[in-house]
Structure 1
Amino acid sequence: MAVSAFVIAAALALLLSWSLARLVETRSAAAVTTRLLAEGYTWAIVKADGLTVTLSGTAPNEAMRFSAMNLAGSVIESGRMRDEFQVEPAQVIAPPRFSLEILRNDDDVQLIGLLPSGDAKDRLAAAAAALARDNTQMDMLQTAAYPSPAGFDAALDLGLVALNLLPQSKISVSETGVVITAIAKSEAEKRSFEADIARATPKEVMVQTTISAPRPVLTPFTLRFVIDEQGPRFDACSADSDKARDRIMTAARAAGVTAAPRCVVGLGVPSPSWAQATSSAMATLAKLGAGTVTFSDADITLLAGPDVTQASFDREIGELRATLPDVFSLDAKMPEKAQTTTTAAGPVEFTATLAAETHSLDLRGRLTDNRVQAAVASFARARFGADKVRVATVLDPAAPDGWPQRVLAGLQSLAQLDHGTLLVRPDTVEVAGVSGSLQASAKISQTLSERLGQGKTFKVNVSYDKALDPLAALPTPQECVDHIHEALGNRKIAFDPGSAEIDSASASLMDAIAKGLKNCNAVKIEIAGHTDAQGSAGGNLALSQARAEAVMVALQGRQVDVSAMRAVGYGEGVPVADNGDESGREANRRIDFTLIDAPTVAAAIMDADGILPGAPSAGDMTSGAAQDPSLAPTTKTERPKTRPKG
């Protein structure tokens, strides 16, 4: 019995202890879980094993794990806790997206964006301050300590060029490229801006340019359509809207025009029905088969071709009159047989010849009297230059009425050309020649239609020569460098021994280089100075730098735009021949010209530490070599001491 009682007591004690342990486990786990859930730690898992409470789960970060342990420790003793928390691996922080927005309205400049650390912010602020009046620029730029992404620096340089060039603009810069939206004052300024932007754009930068110009005021509002042996074409075309232009172009194609003509959209249209009237007149001319139709504001002059029959003319002109809006006035004529007004001295005519190369002007033919002759001569000298005009006219009081006005209108038209001829007769005015403007034919037609009046016949035959276009003929950056290399040939710029002074014998060579760069504005060219290996590395580096700067200053003195050029000295680091003999050393002493956008010499010769081979340390550099290589010296550069020639 005693044994049985003992066994039963032991069993009861064991059961009681187990029950107590389970109670402690349950309450501990419940208390900790409740506390963690109340604070939002839903990711924590609580398990109790006797007095030990195990905490597991994946914490978002180390701070959350530590906080969860502290919360659990506030409920139970820390000695009873086992930490089996996991922490989510830290995510790599992506670099920020660098971008820049530049807003400019004349001298009001706003800078907004995030830039990599470096001098970019200072450069932008300096450029904005130079443009702003009374410190009105708004700088909302921030920087981040991250390296500049590929392409961003080149895009930023282009953005700075655009900022200085465009008075009303919005410029967006990012590593993917540059987006430019701007306003120009005229179509000519727009073309100039576009050419300058294209010339300054590096090959690796994508640029999207949208430059708008206000519509010009066209006086008179002119359209001239011709069908002759050369085919259908426009001498001049004007429209008041894009929709009207499209309608006119549709009518032109229906009349047989195959090329893409230029049609200026401008202000000054005489009627909202302009497109309807011009399209109807062009269709009528196409049905006639040949002739010209000229619109000068609301006045229409239609001259049928020589082979048009009277019946066809009457039918088509009648239909045209019925379709024209009331505001338009039509003067339609059949061709008249050529009649030459003559006097005892010959036919009544006036001619002017504008020479191609000399641009001299010869005036011949009939003028009414001395007063008219003096007026014509004065007008010609004012337009073409006093020393360019030769007057060889004769006086004829019997010249037709309106003769002086016809002559002056012809000379005003001839002034639109680079070279050409003018023929004035009683029945017609003819202007022919070559121009560097795509709008020359349209401008001449406008002038003649306005000055001669409705119903007067004139003929315009002007061709466009791209080589005479001042914008289209501008050389590309590569062509500018090619001009330099062509001028150099087998020669090179020589210097006094051990000095940065250009030898007087190289003056003609510098003149030739400057001539090749005459039309190269703001072209990024590196002027690189090189030496042989004689002397110290520091001295050679300083000498090459000073010589490169001397060349840039010499070009600047010859009226070359050096604003985008930089002078860099490479010392003896980039030899092109062996320095072991005199011929090799002579070849290594040189000045090179390369485009900055092309792979630079410095990039090609940098060692693994980013140091030019043979370059001295900062402490070994002379003050002349330490100057900013991108700027011409404002004071005399300190030269190294003269060393023996060779």
Structure 2
Amino acid sequence: MRLSSIFITGLTFAAAAAISLVAANFSVELIEDSSEIGVRDALDARGLTWAEVEADGLQVTLAGLAQSEAVRFQALTAAGTIVDAARVIDEIEVEAQAAIAPPRFSAEVLRNDAGLSVIGLIPVSTDREAMVDRFIRVSGQDRVTDLLEVADYPAPPGWEDALGFALTALDDLPRAKVSISAGRVEITAITDSAKDKAEMERALSRAAPPAVLLTLNIAAPRPVITPFTLRFVIDDGGPHFDACSADTEHSRDAILKAAAAAGMTDVGRCTVGMGVPSPTWSEAVTQSIAALARLGAGSVTFSDADITLIAAEGTAQDTFDTVVGELENSLPDVFALFSKLPETVDPDVGPPEFIATLSPEGQVQLRGRVPDEAFRNLADSFAKARFGSDRVYVAARVVPDLPADWAARVLTGLEALSELSNGAVRIQPDSLSVTGNTGNSDARAVIASLLAAKLGEAEKFEIDVTYREKLDPVAGLPTPEECEAEIGAIVAAGKINFEPGSATIDASALATMDDIAEVIKSCGDLRLEIQGHTDSQGREEMNLSLSQSRAQSVLNELRARRVLTSSFTAKGYGEAQPVADNDTEEGREANRRIEFRLIQPEPSVPEGDSALESIAENSDILPNETTSEEGPGQ
């Protein structure tokens, strides 16, 4: 009986345990399902459908591939709103992110009389301290405002080329803004004159490396023209301007249109400047040009508001009176007209005259008549001051009873002659003529202004001055390639020989060095590499050393001739670059040589610039070379 009671009790406990276990399992499954469903719904509500949810007891595991750390954090936060955050197991992976793109490096330099400032972002590889020191040297004062920032990224292609060029260009830019980026430099500057602008644009364009895109915005202020001068002539050569000034582009166009209507076929050049005596300048000029055209020949000269109209000799008196009368009545009030009809002169009677000539070599001769000995000495001194004391020859004779203004006319004529490269001045009692060639495109206008200011309103003068580009000290400069070709012609005609086995230039080659030095002096800025080469006889190390010494000797000879060689380098290549067979004496002779090469920087391609990439891929960046053979010996 007792055994049966114990069995029943045990069986009861066992049944209770089984029921409890089943209930616990059911509860766990219920919790897992409710947690998993709840978390999944929370994720779906936030658009995080990529996340995978798995419940294991009280723990909830999140898995999947999140687009970023921020999205991963959103998923964990959403799960934490449903279950305790401590129960959430994070197995989410994050997509690999692309490397952060490097910043755009750039710098902007502002320089004026107040100092220099620089702002921008530069790579850490750029020596900032050296860059600022260079700015201090350029400005000549310790007033450099440094607003540069640095980023730890590699410098993009073309950055160093652009920065180096900009730093060099700043030496010649006292008032400018220079913007620098990879492979690009933009320069905005102002110059004092159109001539300075042309010189600056030419120098910067020549100095820019091939890989740098250079943009120039160079401005030149309008010149102040004093006196405001215009001279229009109709003679045997046809209608033309000796000088032309206008106050606006519209005024210039109106004046050129009037000249074309008067028969001028050439493209006229008219300077737009400041200093006009009246807003009605173009009206007065166009009326005067039309009046001269009606007369058929002669000249009309403006000096500020004073107008001088001189008809050609032989013009009918009634025609002259009619044209001048109508012009006087139509001119704006501020302008005053002086008109003259020259009397017919007997051609058999020779008037007194004074002639000064300037040869292309710079020699000056003074011939003709002067009023007295004192003035002859004065004219001699004046000419020597203008042209050089060793270049003036005086053959003028003293003749009394010359016109009272003869001395002033002679000195004015000599001053006008000094504006020419070569030519002549002829002075007679009623006329003065200036003829010749010049390298200054503004010389005609300068001479016309000078004569009008110093000779007076009623004086008759003629100007026949031709601009020659080859005489222009700016436009006439040869290109580096032309200089290289000229050096090549010199070294082809005469060898640069060395004493056998040494770096001493043979005396027979000194004349060739003289000729090369003269060419380089006329070429302006030029970057040259002087290369030394030998044949293959002897040890390679000795040949390399000898070629370097010979190239340096040539460089030293140029320096001895006062050639600026700061942009030159000397480099020896030994026997590494033969141009002929070293197995023959003729070949070895050809390989013993000096070469002159233009230095051109390796182009670097600006970032993202497909056009430059194409150029870099398809162009031969090796410079042209000029070869000079040497004498016997390595």
TM-score (norm 1): 0.80
Equivalent pair of 2:254/2:282 in contact (CA under 8 Å): yes
**Whole-angstrom distance in 1 between the partners of 2:154 and 2:88:** 50
Please give the per-residue CA displacement for 1:429-475, whole angstroms capped at 9, x wherever unaligned: 11111111111111111111111111211111111111111111111
What is the aligned counterpart of 2:34 among 26, 29, 42?
A: 26
The answer to whether 1:488 aligns with 2:495 is: no
**Whole-angstrom distance in 1 between the partners of 2:423 and 2:96:** 80
**Whole-angstrom distance in 1 between the partners of 2:514 and 2:233:** 50
Match of 1:268 in 2: 275
Q: Structure 2: which amino acid aligns with 1:212?
A: A
Please give the per-residue CA displacement for 1:168-202, whole angstroms capped at 9, x wherever unaligned: 22222334532222222334333322232233234
Please give the per-residue CA displacement for 1:41-99, whole angstroms capped at 9, x wherever unaligned: 9687464567574635653335763785598589458787473x453442244343333
Q: Structure 2: which amino acid aligns with 1:303?
A: I
Query: Cα distance, 1:407 vs. partner?
Result: 1.8
**Whole-angstrom distance in 2 between the partners of 1:112 and 1:21:** 67
Equivalent pair of 1:284/1:320 in contact (CA under 8 Å): yes
1:645 to 1:220, Cα distance in 2 relative to 1, 3 A: closer
Paired residues for 1:292-331 under 5 Å: 292-306=299-313, 308-331=315-338
Q: Structure 2: which amino acid aligns with 1:26?
A: S
Equivalent pair of 1:43/1:59 in contact (CA under 8 Å): no
Please give the per-residue CA displacement for 1:532-575, whole angstroms capped at 9, x wherever unaligned: 44555555444433433332232122111212222233333323
Equivalent pair of 1:107/1:133 in contact (CA under 8 Å): no
What is the aligned counterpart of 2:226 among 196, 213, 219?
A: 219
Match of 1:59 in 2: 66
Secondary structure in structure 2 of the residue aligned to 1:386? coil
1:362 to 1:494, Cα distance in 2 relative to 1, 3 A: closer
Please give the per-residue CA displacement for 1:251-310, whole angstroms capped at 9, x wherever unaligned: 333434343322223333222322222222223323443321100111101123457544
Identity of aligned residues (%): 44
Paired residues for 1:94-493 under 5 Å: 94-105=101-112, 108-116=115-123, 118=125, 121=128, 124-142=131-149, 148-306=155-313, 308-339=315-346, 347-357=351-361, 359-489=362-492, 491-493=494-496
Equivalent pair of 1:36/1:72 in contact (CA under 8 Å): no
The answer to whether 1:559 aligns with 2:567 is: no
- Structure 1, gaps ≥5 residues long: 1-9, 601-643
Please give the per-residue CA displacement for 1:120-163, whole angstroms capped at 9, x wherever unaligned: 65664453232233432334445556555444444334323311
1:513 to 1:434, Cα distance in 2 relative to 1, 3 A: same
Please give the per-residue CA displacement for 1:453-511, whole angstroms capped at 9, x wherever unaligned: 11211111111111111111111111122222122116543445554444444323322
**Whole-angstrom distance in 2 between the partners of 1:107 and 1:556:** 38
Q: Structure 2: which amino acid aligns with 1:209?
A: L
Q: Structure 1: which amino acid aligns with 2:299?
A: T
Secondary structure in structure 2 of the residue aligned to 1:347? coil
Secondary structure in structure 1 of the residue aligned to 2:111? strand
Structure of greater Rg: 2
Query: Cα distance, 1:222 vs. partner?
Result: 0.6
**Whole-angstrom distance in 1 between the partners of 2:380 and 2:193:** 32
**Whole-angstrom distance in 1 between the partners of 2:201 and 2:328:** 44
Q: Structure 1: which amino acid aligns with 2:214?
A: V
Secondary structure in structure 2 of the residue aligned to 1:510? helix
Q: Structure 2: which amino acid aligns with 1:347?
A: P
Aligned length: 587
1:543 to 1:109, Cα distance in 2 relative to 1, 3 A: farther
Bigger relative contact order, structure 1 or 2, given CA contacts below 8 A and separation 6+? Answer: 2
Q: Structure 1: which amino acid aligns with 2:353?
A: E
